[in-house]
Amino acid sequence: MKRQIPVLLAFLTGTFVVVAFFVSAPVVVGLNEKLDELLMIVTAFALPLGVVSFLQHHSKKIGRRSIGWRNSIVSVASFAVMASLGIVEPFVSAQGRAVGFNWLFDTVFTPLQATMFSLLAFMIASAAFRAFRVKNLEAAILMISAVIVMLGRVPIGKFVLPPSAALTEWIMNVPNLAAQRGILIGAALGAASMAIRIILGIERPYMGGAGE
Amino acid sequence: MSDAQQVGGIDRRWVYLLVAVGALLPVLIPMGLPILTTPAVEALFQRVESFGPQDVLMLSFDYGPSSAPELDPMADAILRHCFTRGVRVVVLALFPLGGPNMAQGSLDRVTGEFSVEEGRDFVYLGYKDGAQAVMRRMAEDISAAFPRDHRGIPLKEIPLMQEVRGYPQIGVAVSLATGILGEYWANLVNAQFGQTVAVGATAVSAPKYYTYLKAGQMIGLLGGLKGAAEYEELLASAYPELRDRARVARRGMDVQSIVHLIIIVFILLGNVFYVLSRSERTRAGGRLGPR
């Protein structure tokens, strides 16, 4: 029963959602809406699960003094402060805003993320110099396309290579579109076949592993 | 080591220094390079331009601080456009890691410039987890997904939301997205409910949205800082009084221009050194002769 009930639930809900897409009977639509509400609630429960996993991982690292255990202390302390302020905010503005939480978010988290992503510009320049080598025809096509798009996407490109903007539009609308469409169709077919396997109980990732 | 190999093995700190100088100079001395607009951005601009005070635009903040430099200017420009034309806006956030802060920040920056009133001219619904389910649930009844706004006021007590029940009352839904959330708006909200959708995405994500744009599942696409700069340019051209306010992305394009040029020069230099060192190795091999 421990196996059959989850598989039966997955089969029934999966089949129902597919059928509901094509049927507009009020009973089906109403039940489908209830499933959406249930999904929102279930998704919210993923958050506490993530918190437990995060705390388990870092407390183990701290307890065993593993490599980077001091970073784990910072992670756990940051989590504790942000979560506490998010749940019980002692500083609330006249407009009802959480002052402490937002202050930490705006002055610590946002600049840290900005710093990390700003470093990409330096890394890309260095990597372009060292690794972007025209070793064969494919690499040459890639490099020429990259240079055209890089010029076509900035205002100065008009002065350096006047047709770059038009060429960029063509690259985006023809070769890029063809490749993206192929990838998307492939991924969609893969997702559909995986969904069928889950509905039929052949794959059971929700039970902690694949089926036999 | 040959001459070419020596020059090619340049210390990476010089590369970093050049990029830093290239990024800093246009900030200190703005170049004011002209911005060319593209049909994908013009389409969204023209759609909003066709709206009046009876219309409603839905703006979903589906990104966090990591994408803010590219997407914040889009949000500000679209909000300014709406408030200038009297178009009412329903704001929400579906990205957990900072979406609500991005939405609140943009509203704080822009609403102060206009005489707009929360609840009448715009409403901020706040954040809700479960993006796809929220999008589906909002189709007929937004209050089923967001029973209250971010202040805790029930939607039925908010004047704007008394007129807006679901997608049928929304003129266009714009998602400013990082990751996959923007795709959900195109392949779920548009495909399943027929809602007109436009997406503002980071430059690195923009190429994948061309499939939805060409398939007619989106009416417009703002790609990266360039897309934001184009929207600002269109806004400044149509409403000269906004020229000084809508310029963050346009100024950013000066920086991007110089940094792109530096990267291109490095790519070309790297290849010149590569070809030179390869021909030197070939010549040296020729002198040694066959073993």
Are the beta carbons of B261 and A128 separated by less than 8 Å? Answer: no
Residues B229-259: pLDDT tens digits? 999 999 999 999 999 888 899 999 999 999 9
| Average per-residue pLDDT for chain B | 91
A195-204 long-range contacts, Cβ below 8 Å, gap at least 24?
A195/A14, A198/A10, A198/A14, A199/A10, A199/A11, A199/A14, A199/A15, A199/A18, A200/A11, A201/A7, A201/A10, A201/A11, A204/A6, A204/A7, A204/A10
Averaged over A104-121, what is the pLDDT?
89
Q: Could you tell me the pLDDT band of residue B224, with boundaries at 50, 70 and 90?
A: very high
- Residues B89, B17 within the same domain: no
Residue B12: predicted pLDDT? 83
Domain ranges of chain A: 1-87, 89-130, 132-205
User: What is the residue-averaged pLDDT of chain A?
Assistant: 90
pLDDT of residue A212: 45
pLDDT at B288: 53
Asked if B127 and B234 sit in the same domain, the reply is yes
| % of chain B with per-residue pLDDT over 70 | 95
Q: Which residues of B touch A83 (CB under 8 A)?
A: none
> How many domains, chain B?
2
Residues B134 and B171 in one domain: yes
Domain identity same for B80 and B158: yes
pLDDT range class, residue B287, cuts 50, 70, 90: low
B101 and B15 in a single domain? The answer is no
Q: Which domain holds residue B17?
A: 3-30+254-288
pLDDT of residue A70: 95
Which pLDDT tens digit goes with each residue over B112-167?
Answer: 999 999 999 999 999 998 899 999 999 989 999 999 999 999 999 999 999 999 99
Instruction: Inspect the interface and report whether the beta carbons of A128 and B130 lie closer than 8 Å.
Output: no
- Judge: B258–A173 Cβ closer than 8 Å, yes or no: no
Q: Which residue has the higher pLDDT, B4 or A193?
A: A193
Residue A165 has pLDDT above 60, yes or no: yes
Q: Do A109 and B98 touch (CB under 8 A)?
A: yes
- Which of B33, B144, B211 lies at the smallest CB-CB distance from A156? B33
Interface test with A, best of B10, B33, B129, B148 (most A CBs within 10 A): B129
- Domain shared by B24 and B82, yes or no: no
**Pick from B18, B104, B210: which is nearest to A177 by CB?**
B210
Which pLDDT tens digit goes with each residue over B8-63? Answer: 667 888 889 999 999 999 999 989 899 999 999 999 999 999 999 999 999 999 99
Pair B272, B226 in one domain:
no
Closest partner residue to A33 (CB to CB) among B38, B128, B137 is B137
Taking only residues 108 to 147 of chain B, the set having a beta carbon closer than 8 angstroms to any beta carbon of chain A reads 128-130, 132-134, 136-137, 144-145
| A39–B132 C-beta distance less than 8 A | yes
Same domain, B196 and B268: no
- Among candidates A41, A129, A147 on the partner chain, residue whose Cβ is nearest the Cβ of B270: A129
Q: Are residue B69 and residue B209 in the same domain, yes or no?
A: yes
Q: Which of residues 174-213 of B touch A (CB under 8 A)?
A: 192, 203, 207-208, 210-211
Task: With cut-offs at 50, 70 and 90, classify the pLDDT of residue B104.
Answer: very high
